[in-house]
Homo-oligomer: A and B are copies of this chain.
């Protein structure tokens, strides 16, 4: 643990990699956690369900006296909430969140066996006393309601954390960001600002959510058939916008899909979504209504084949199908890595007769993260002594630090670090400290962290060329083959059309067995087959042989 007198800020996640959002802030033995996010696997992280931050180092330090006084969750998105169950298993500190965030956390905490765990519902503006830290929460705008940033009064000074944010003057819920609080922090003097870097390589100002209203208005005005709006289940404000457009144009709204229905339930119960009773109809009901009176809300904007939109595109939905004349609005951008599947989904929907509206055809989605003009405004509002870009890849953090320097913050007062690297802050200095041990923690089924580079490498080889297993039984007396070798193979060649290849493999084994003068017969067979298969196919399947000497094989 770092020496007393300095505040440690430690972003967690895959070591040296771009993990998701979880951060330890501690002063000596007293600490707090900000956010507990998960990350979704990239295309080459085969078989991984999701990735959680590596917080083992925090757990280790807790055994040596570190006390975590609270876990503060800034908003309800998965990349800030998703790992709550895993975190509470090891770090059982009280959780603090605003009403909507808490409502969403509650569901996850129940599922992970933490139903009884203390979860404190707060409002933006509340002040939390967590050990030596006094945390002043403040409202920010983002693509989910009830998001907040944090002003953390620490023994070394005031630290401001932006949370995920954009400066939207006309947000859907009418609640603009708390500029006054930021200005007040500034007057009191801010030691360090930690700010969202997601869009730090985009010039300009992220358009207001109100822009989407106009785009919806255009589409609703001219659509003659059904309208299907796909968006993130958690994009509560977008659902509100669709509801408004539906009401204005005399359409009823149906919701397809479990996760969106659940989000809508929580948000409605907590007062973050206002859907008049006579607006919402069941999917069954919508199916019987004239198409021009219907809007259907759905998930699946990332091209996930199992989400509602994916099922519609491939004609596999139980209740709904795309009809000629439908208009589908893709009210989300593809997350990098999902582009291919998103484009494929759009093409399939068009194939089935739908008109599909997506950005750049019309501005039916806007980002929830501030661009460079907003980032400049934040820095000049807060006027921190030190600047620490957070949230985003290294390229975003780097651009954000350069931007701060353009505004007059000296380079030595900014620090770009990847997850797993400590930052040490005193009233007069910002220093990059040690890297803590750790790496990505992959969750695959029940396994947390057991799938590492070796398993991943094997999956890659299997994905490219499959495997071949062969059973070689030798007669113990004669040393000859007791039966023809039997092959099992998947993912290598289409077996029904590969009989020649397998016969060549059997002949090769017979030859190796006949000429074998001892030595490792299993290895000789595996190597020989690998070479044969590569020469014949230019593919490299994994090859395994079971070799046994037996006295007469009786039956299969």
Residue of B nearest to A451 (CB): B494
Give the distance in Å from the alpha carbon of A464 to the alpha carbon of B46 in the complex. 5
Tell me if A464 and B47 are in contact (CB < 8 A): yes
Give the distance in Å from the alpha carbon of A356 to the alpha carbon of B542 in the complex. 39
A384 to chain B, nearest CB (A): 23
A483 to chain B, nearest CB (A): 8
Q: Determine if A282 is an interface residue (Cβ-Cβ < 8 Å).
A: no
Give the distance in Å from the alpha carbon of A550 to the alpha carbon of B556 in the complex. 9
Tell me if A548 and B458 are in contact (CB < 8 A): no
Q: Mark A344-356, 1 if CB is under 8 A from B, else 0.
A: 1011001100001
Q: Determine if A549 is an interface residue (Cβ-Cβ < 8 Å).
A: yes
Q: Determine if A272 is an interface residue (Cβ-Cβ < 8 Å).
A: no
Give the distance in Å from the alpha carbon of A466 to the alpha carbon of B446 in the complex. 15
Known: A394-B350, A537-B445, A538-B446. A43 touches B46 (CB 8 A): no
Q: Determine if A285 is an interface residue (Cβ-Cβ < 8 Å).
A: no
Q: Which one of B339, B360, B462, B544 contacts A459 once the chains associate, using CB atoms below 8 Å?
A: B462
Q: Determine if A340 is an interface residue (Cβ-Cβ < 8 Å).
A: yes
Of A177-185, A426-434, A468-476, which stretch is located at the interface? Answer: A468-476
Q: Mark A520-556, 1 if CB is under 8 A from B, else 0.
A: 0010000000000000111100101011111111111
Q: Determine if A35 is an interface residue (Cβ-Cβ < 8 Å).
A: no
Give the distance in Å from the alpha carbon of A551 to the alpha carbon of B445 in the complex. 41
Chain B residues with Cβ below 8 Å from A554 are 476, 548-551
Tell me if B447 and A539 are in contact (CB < 8 A): yes
Instruction: Name A344-372 residues within 8 Å CB distance of B.
Output: 344, 346-347, 350-351, 356, 358, 360-361
Chain B residues with Cβ below 8 Å from A323 are none
Q: Mark A144-176, 1 if CB is under 8 A from B, else 0.
A: 000000000000000000000000000000000
Tell me if A469 and B550 are in contact (CB < 8 A): no
Q: Which one of B18, B452, B461, B544 contacts A494 once the chains associate, using CB atoms below 8 Å?
A: B452
Q: Determine if A463 is an interface residue (Cβ-Cβ < 8 Å).
A: yes
Q: Determine if A307 is an interface residue (Cβ-Cβ < 8 Å).
A: no
Residue of B nearest to A483 (CB): B548
Q: Which one of B394, B462, B471, B537 contacts A490 once the chains associate, using CB atoms below 8 Å?
A: B462
Chain B residues with Cβ below 8 Å from A350 are 394-395, 398
Give the distance in Å from the alpha carbon of A552 to the alpha carbon of B482 in the complex. 13
Q: Determine if A304 is an interface residue (Cβ-Cβ < 8 Å).
A: no
Tell me if B494 and A455 are in contact (CB < 8 A): yes
Known: A459-B463, A467-B467. A447 touches B551 (CB 8 A): no
Q: Which one of B346, B358, B455, B498 contacts A493 once the chains associate, using CB atoms below 8 Å?
A: B455
Q: Determine if A408 is an interface residue (Cβ-Cβ < 8 Å).
A: no
Residue of B nearest to A469 (CB): B469
Chain B residues with Cβ below 8 Å from A346 are 393-395
Interface of A (DSSP majority class): mixed
Chain B residues with Cβ below 8 Å from A544 are 469, 488
Q: Which one of B344, B454, B471, B498 contacts A546 once the chains associate, using CB atoms below 8 Å?
A: B471
Tell me if A446 and B490 are in contact (CB < 8 A): no
Q: Which one of B16, B399, B418, B549 contacts A555 once the chains associate, using CB atoms below 8 Å?
A: B549
Chain B residues with Cβ below 8 Å from A466 are 47, 455, 458-459, 462
Tell me if A491 and B462 are in contact (CB < 8 A): yes
Q: Which one of B46, B339, B356, B550 contacts A339 once the chains associate, using CB atoms below 8 Å?
A: B339
Give the distance in Å from the alpha carbon of A339 to the alpha carbon of B343 in the complex. 14
Tell me if A458 and B490 are in contact (CB < 8 A): yes
Tell me if B360 and A202 are in contact (CB < 8 A): yes
Q: Which one of B203, B458, B476 contacts A360 once the chains associate, using CB atoms below 8 Å?
A: B203
A456 to chain B, nearest CB (A): 8
Tell me if B542 and A553 are in contact (CB < 8 A): no
Give the distance in Å from the alpha carbon of A361 to the alpha carbon of B371 in the complex. 12
Tell me if A337 and B340 are in contact (CB < 8 A): yes
Q: Which one of B360, B459, B492, B497 contacts A491 once the chains associate, using CB atoms below 8 Å?
A: B459
Tell me if B493 and A450 are in contact (CB < 8 A): yes
Q: Which one of B18, B340, B542 contacts A43 once the chains associate, using CB atoms below 8 Å?
A: B340
Q: Mark A183-221, 1 if CB is under 8 A from B, else 0.
A: 000000000000000000111000000000000000000
Give the distance in Å from the alpha carbon of A347 to the alpha carbon of B18 in the complex. 9
Residue of B nearest to A450 (CB): B494
Residue of B nearest to A465 (CB): B47
23 contacts across the A-B interface (CB closer than 8 A): A47-B463, A47-B465, A47-B491, A201-B360, A343-B395, A347-B393, A350-B398, A356-B395, A358-B395, A446-B537, A447-B538, A447-B539, A450-B493, A450-B494, A450-B497, A451-B494, A455-B491, A458-B491, A460-B463, A547-B556, A549-B553, A549-B555, A550-B553
A46-B491, A461-B490, A522-B556 given; 13 more Cβ-contact pairs under 8 Å: A336-B339, A337-B340, A346-B394, A445-B538, A447-B537, A447-B539, A452-B494, A454-B494, A455-B466, A455-B493, A459-B466, A467-B490, A548-B554
Residues of A with Cβ closer than 8 Å to B?
Answer: 16, 18, 42-44, 46-47, 201-203, 336-337, 339-341, 343-344, 346-347, 350-351, 356, 358, 360-361, 393-395, 398-399, 418, 444-447, 450-452, 454-455, 458-467, 469, 471, 473, 476, 486, 488, 490-494, 497-498, 522, 536-539, 542, 544, 546-556
